Amino acid sequence: MTCLFRDYKEGMESLVLGIFIACVSLQLSEGLHKRSSVCYDHLGCFATDPPFFSLHRPLNFLPESPDHINVQFMLYTKHNPQKEQIVTINDSASVTSSNFDPAKPTKIAIHGYFDNGQKAWLHEVKDEYLKTHDVNVFIVDWGGGSKTLYTQATANTRVVGAIVAQFITHLKTVGHAKPEDFHLIGHSLGAHAAGYAGERIQYVGRITGLDPAEPYFQGTDVKVRLDPTDAMFVDIIHTNGESLLKLGLGMKQPCGHVDYYPNGGLTQPGCDAKNAVSNIKIEGLQGGVKTFFDCSHKRSHALFTESINSRCPFEAYKCNSYEDFNAGKCIPCSGGGCGYMGYHGDRVKPNNKQTLVKYFLKTGSTAPYCRFHYQLQITLGAPHGSRKERGDVYATLTGSKGHTEEIQLTDDHIDLTPGKSYTYVVTSTKEIGQLTKFTIRWEENAHWYKPLDWNPLNLRHPTLFISKVKVVEGENTQQFQFCGSNVAVESKTPKQLSASSTC
């Protein structure tokens, strides 16, 4: 079944590319007759000149009219958490008679391509906010402009952004709201629409981009896409930054004051072909394949939603790359250098007008996604008679509040050399408190091309010697040491070490 799905996936990649080329050709023939600019009352003019025309945007259309896009603003508050109030720009009474309170923070959630204001994640975000926060929440519905060919929808985001900016100005004028109290949360194309809105209004407080759309935006001029100048604070969650040819839908390019890359930001755990096969069995072929294609892209808003009321902090670590992060080079984050992905992202803002600061973290494959991070450094002893072994290493952490499951530290079989140190980043679904014990286990797996290392009759007892283990808790930088004193650990035989103040 997995092989069949791989073949199906490769076929779908070709199909998606073919459809894209066909759509481009179709729009090119139509676009020859389109004007180079269009103006709409109170919104200004929109042109297809550079920078909106570029190598990254070989075909660029004018946005459709505001009447066609039909942007609507649905207000929810503590007084009406389930039943929306429609607030309109051309009706001041719709503001003054609503539950909108300018003294409270305002959240504006904007959906992406081919969606509308009834998309489940928008209402999940709204519900999470109103559980514990007394805020105004507006859901923006621009379904009239999103359900079209992608290139047209990208153009329509310019009008959507302009209307959102006009709406904020209206709330400022009629309701005496302050721009710095507004937080725009946009997914995919909605992230760039939020950027267009922020570009038009000085001192918008915050924009959170949830996996901003890649096609027609990555690599473009800052006027075309979301960037740090669009709000006082711009934070980004990247979850699907693979190339478009690999069905990546989101930007890999950093574009905020801070950019968070959970699990590296390319694809997300639980979104691989293996899980897609399971989804096909549950949802049928069409539903399972759709879930697979946009799984990583949608994970961004799932992570943000969970972060609103999560007791787990979604703590992230400033790092140059995911490879450095996985190698344990960025834990702990001393001096308050940690970031907090999602709702609490504004707790840590770069100093000295820094932008494009990258943070990395690991999350789970299913909800709850948040994880607690630990850096492990295992130093092997080198007593007389020790030798290089090869295999897989596993560990279990035990603390005052519980223990982790056994964690596989190595992605593949590795050489384990006496006297050498090995560093890993591991996670736990729960906070396990003060560490008290460390359990290590390993399994030999000899090279196939080294027959002298084979041990079919178990005549040899492959053994590692543990000199010491150091564990650093990522969330509070506490360090724990476990003295091995060259304790022998035979293959497949777990060995438990107790915490010690010195080694």
Active site residue 211: yes
Q: Which residue has the higher pLDDT, 4 or 471?
A: 471
Among 306, 336, 361, the domain-final residue is 361
Residue 7 in any domain: the answer is no
Query: Is there a single domain that holds both residue 412 and residue 274?
Result: no
How much is the average pLDDT of 290-304?
90
Residue entry with tokens 């590795």: 414
The rounded distance, in Å, linking the Cα atoms of 325 and 403 is 23
Res 461: pLDDT = 84
- On whether the CB atoms of residues 206 and 235 are closer than 8 A, the answer is yes
User: Is a pLDDT exceeding 60 seen at residue 26?
Assistant: no
Q: Which residue has the higher pLDDT, 286 or 444?
A: 444
Amino acid letter, residue 63: P
45 backbone φψ class: left, alpha, beta (φ>0; ψ -120 to 50): beta
Query: Is there a single domain that holds both residue 273 and residue 387?
Result: no
**pLDDT tens track for 70-93:** 999 999 999 999 999 999 999 999
Residue 338 in any domain: the answer is yes
Residue entry with tokens 């489940």: 120
Q: Which residue has the higher pLDDT, 257 or 503?
A: 257
Query: Is there a single domain that holds both residue 187 and residue 266?
Result: yes
Among 361, 396, 412, the domain-final residue is 361
**pLDDT tens track for 164-220:** 999 999 999 999 999 999 999 999 999 999 999 999 999 999 999 999 999 999 999
Q: What one-character DSSP code corresponds to residue 371? A: -
Res 452: pLDDT = 55
Query: Is there a single domain that holds both residue 383 and residue 345?
Result: no
Res 273: pLDDT = 72
Residue 17 in any domain: the answer is no
Q: Which of 241, 236, 362 is nearest to 304 (CA)?
A: 236
Say how many domains are in the chain. Answer: 2
How much is the average pLDDT of 376-403?
96
User: Is a pLDDT exceeding 50 seen at residue 362?
Assistant: yes
Q: What is the DSSP string of 334-397?
A: GGG-EEE-SGGGGGS--STT---EEEEE---SSSS---EEEEEEEEE---TT---EEEEEEEEE
> With pLDDT > 70 as the criterion, what percentage of the chain qualifies?
86
Residue 11 in any domain: the answer is no
How much is the average pLDDT of 236-250?
95
pLDDT range class, residue 21, cuts 50, 70, 90: very low
Among 339, 361, 383, the domain-final residue is 361
Query: Is there a single domain that holds both residue 65 and residue 124?
Result: yes
The rounded distance, in Å, linking the Cα atoms of 387 and 380 is 11
User: Is a pLDDT exceeding 60 seen at residue 241?
Assistant: yes
CATH of the domain at 413: 2.60.60.20
Active site residue 67: no
Range ranked top by mean pLDDT from 391-395, 450-454, 471-475:
391-395
Residue 347 in any domain: the answer is yes
Query: Is there a single domain that holds both residue 379 and residue 349?
Result: no
Query: Is there a single domain that holds both residue 461 and residue 484?
Result: yes
From 94, 146, 188, 467, active-site residue: 188
**pLDDT tens track for 266-283:** 999 999 876 655 554 455
CATH of the domain at 99: 3.40.50.1820
Res 447: pLDDT = 58
**pLDDT tens track for 305-356:** 999 999 999 999 999 999 999 999 999 887 668 999 999 999 999 988 899 9
**pLDDT tens track for 101-142:** 999 999 999 999 999 999 999 999 999 999 999 999 999 999
Res 425: pLDDT = 97
Res 24: pLDDT = 45
Residue 24 in any domain: the answer is no
Query: Is there a single domain that holds both residue 317 and residue 424?
Result: no
Query: Is there a single domain that holds both residue 383 and residue 319?
Result: no
Query: Is there a single domain that holds both residue 339 and residue 473?
Result: no
Helices H / strands E in the chain, number of each: 9, 23
**Which residue range(s) make up the domain with 184?**
35-361
From 211, 230, 235, 392, active-site residue: 211
Res 501: pLDDT = 76
Query: Is there a single domain that holds both residue 347 and residue 432?
Result: no
From 297, 300, 307, 392, active-site residue: 297
Question: Which tokens sit at 254?
Answer: 């950093």
How much is the average pLDDT of 42-49?
96
The rounded distance, in Å, linking the Cα atoms of 404 and 394 is 12
Residue 14 in any domain: the answer is no
pLDDT range class, residue 455, cuts 50, 70, 90: low
- What residues contact residue 83 under an 8 Å CB cut-off, 6+ apart? none
Query: Is there a single domain that holds both residue 98 and residue 210?
Result: yes
Q: How far is CA 224 from CA 32, 161, 255, 371, in A?
A: 22, 12, 12, 35
Res 122: pLDDT = 98
Residue 366 in any domain: the answer is no
Residue entry with tokens 């676009």: 31
Q: Report the mean per-residue pLDDT for the chain.
A: 89
